[in-house]
Structure 1
Amino acid sequence: MKVFHNKSQLSKIIDGFKAKNRAIGFVPTMGALHEGHLSLVEKALSENNVAVVSVFVNPTQFDNQEDLVKYPRTLEADVALLKTVSDDKIIVYAPTVDDIYGDDVKSQSFKFDGLENEMEGAFRDGHFDGVGTIVKRLFEIIKPNRAYFGEKDFQQLQIIKKLVELNHMPVKVIGCPIHRADDGLAMSSRNTRLTENHRKVAPFIYETLKSAKIKFGTKSAKNVTEWVEKQFKKQPLLELEYFIIADTDTLKPVKRKSTKKTYRAFIAAYAGDIRLIDNIALN
């Protein structure tokens, strides 16, 4: 398996693929890979000749610098895990911060038709500027035909689709279902940092989402939200940051349900100092 740390070396390989009309699937990650990432890579390989997996902890999308410092960096283990999928059809791009940003480690400023102001955007200052900056840069370097993102970060998925649309980038962005542990917890690199007690109660997040989906069939968004908030008050090991039912397209909170629109429920909660997010389609 080839691992590149330098974009100029990677670009020579990419140009060779392009010259032979070989389709490139791209899976951007921040490393600490798990089964959820592998499912994206497998999907990429099923639809393309080769998969490029980036492993890069992007400093510009962290509003909490302590979280950036603590984020797990496990490149050797990540490469070993990817080899279990394929040793010859996967290329790893693990750049340094300098290789991506040079001496100017800062985000561009983006407007995503208001998508950036909802939910995560309201709670994580500058987060989506950082996401837009790194994804746009990676798309320019890797030139993929298709790029694969998990729906756990559904708002991010919608924003990246908007990024591609607004910048007329020749890449198809594909959302993939949330990969879950057997107990329902959404797969996340952060899960490895949970204490034993927090790991035991974390599936409560998904259980609550499933119950909220059922209730949304007969109750208003306001009533469902109030019910979720009450449930979390009964769970002392988890602190609810937000629960929002939003329009799938605009991500704006629902005020009155419409049979002509689709909705998702989004949640963010703290298990100790570990922030977990999840979501579920409601209709």
Structure 2
Amino acid sequence: MLIFNKKSDLSAFLSPLINQNKSIGFVPTMGALHEGHLSLLKKSLAENDITVMSIFVNPTQFNNAEDLEKYPRTLEKDVEKMSTISNKIIVYAPAVLDIYEGNTVSQSFEYDGLEHQMEGQHRPGHFDGVGTIVKRLFEIIQPNNAYFGEKDFQQLQIVKKLVSKHKLPVHIIGCPIFREKSGLAMSSRNERLSPEARKKAALIFEILTEAKEIFQEKSIAETIHFVEESFEKHPEFELEYFEIADEATLLPISEKESDKKYRGFIAIFIENIRLIDNISLN
């Protein structure tokens, strides 16, 4: 397995392969890999000649300095996990200086309003940071295909918009949420939960699943009320938001339309650790 820490070395390695029209699949991550990440990796390996995975904890997408500091960094373990799948994966694990060249600030992006909903409301500047790093990594790696998990569904839609607005020659592929046996959406942040909290966090998906059933028969307001009331019964959770939105626009909906796709989005704290999840409601 080849591991590059400098973009100049990675570009020098990839350039002749690009000239040979080899297809490049790219899986961007912040490390602390789990089965969800590995599923993206497997898909890329199956669909491309070359697969690159980046491992980089991007400082510009954190609006909480403590969250950035505590985010797990486990490169050695990550490489071990990757090696169980293939030894042909190319790893890009740069330092902040290699990416930002001493100017660790975000560019400003507009995503036609997608950035103002949900995560955008609660994490100011987050999607500028996401756009900055994703665009930079696309420029360095020049992938044909890039793979993103649907757990971060808003991010997936924003990356698609970024590619469209900036006319980037990358095909964005969304992949299903991977869940633990309990139903908890796999996340690097799960590693920070105590065993007890991790067990309790299974309630998130249980309530989302019930909300989906309620949404089929009852109103939007009743569905939202059910979720809010359910978490009020469990004081170990702090619900930041639950919203029902149009999948395409991410705008909250006021009434159902038969030709639209809807999704429920949630952000919640347990043990002061912020977890997000979502579920298709159609």
Q: TM-score range by the shorter chain?
A: over 0.9
* Distance in 1 between residues matched to 2:251 and 2:192, nearest whole Å: 31
**How far apart are 1:239 and its partner, in Å?**
1.1
Q: Which runs of 4+ in 1 moved over 6 A?
A: none
Count of aligned positions: 282
What is the SS of the residue equivalent to 1:169? Answer: coil
What is the SS of the residue equivalent to 2:186? Answer: coil
How do 1:22-171 residues align onto structure 2 when only pairs under 5 Å count? 22-88=22-88, 90-171=89-170
Deviations 1:75-125 (A, max 9, x none): 11111110011002x100000100000111000000000000000000001
Letter in 2 for 1:64: N
Q: Which residue of 2 aligns with 1:190?
A: 189
* Distance in 2 between residues matched to 1:182 and 1:84, nearest whole Å: 21
**How far apart are 1:12 and its partner, in Å?**
1.1
Q: Which residue of 2 aligns with 1:206?
A: 205
| Structure 2 alignment gaps of length 5 or more | none
**How far apart are 1:226 and its partner, in Å?**
0.6
How do 1:189-268 residues align onto structure 2 when only pairs under 5 Å count? 189-268=188-267
What is the SS of the residue equivalent to 2:276? Answer: strand
Identity %: 61
Letter in 1 for 2:234: Q
* Distance in 2 between residues matched to 1:113 and 1:143, nearest whole Å: 25
Letter in 2 for 1:48: N
Q: Which residue of 2 aligns with 1:10?
A: 10
Letter in 2 for 1:203: A
Instruction: Assess if the C-alpha contact under 8 Å between 2:182 and 2:199 holds in 1.
Output: no
**How far apart are 1:13 and its partner, in Å?**
1.4
Letter in 1 for 2:202: P
Letter in 2 for 1:180: R
In the superposition, the TM-score normalised over structure 2's length comes to 0.99
Letter in 2 for 1:52: V
* Distance in 2 between residues matched to 1:103 and 1:239, nearest whole Å: 37
What is the SS of the residue equivalent to 1:18? Answer: helix
**How far apart are 1:32 and its partner, in Å?**
0.5
Deviations 1:131-152 (A, max 9, x none): 0000000000000000000000
* Distance in 1 between residues matched to 2:130 and 2:198, nearest whole Å: 27
What is the SS of the residue equivalent to 1:162? Answer: helix
* Distance in 1 between residues matched to 2:139 and 2:122, nearest whole Å: 29
| Structure 1 alignment gaps of length 5 or more | none
* Distance in 2 between residues matched to 1:121 and 1:19, nearest whole Å: 39
Letter in 2 for 1:42: K
Letter in 2 for 1:65: A
Deviations 1:128-183 (A, max 9, x none): 00000000000000000000000000000000000000000000000000000111
Deviations 1:13-67 (A, max 9, x none): 1112112211100000000011110000000011101110000000000000000
* Distance in 2 between residues matched to 1:281 and 1:174, nearest whole Å: 17
**How far apart are 1:196 and its partner, in Å?**
2.0
What is the SS of the residue equivalent to 1:269? Answer: strand
What is the SS of the residue equivalent to 1:136? Answer: helix
What is the SS of the residue equivalent to 2:25? Answer: strand
What is the SS of the residue equivalent to 2:264? Answer: strand
In the superposition, the TM-score normalised over structure 1's length comes to 0.99
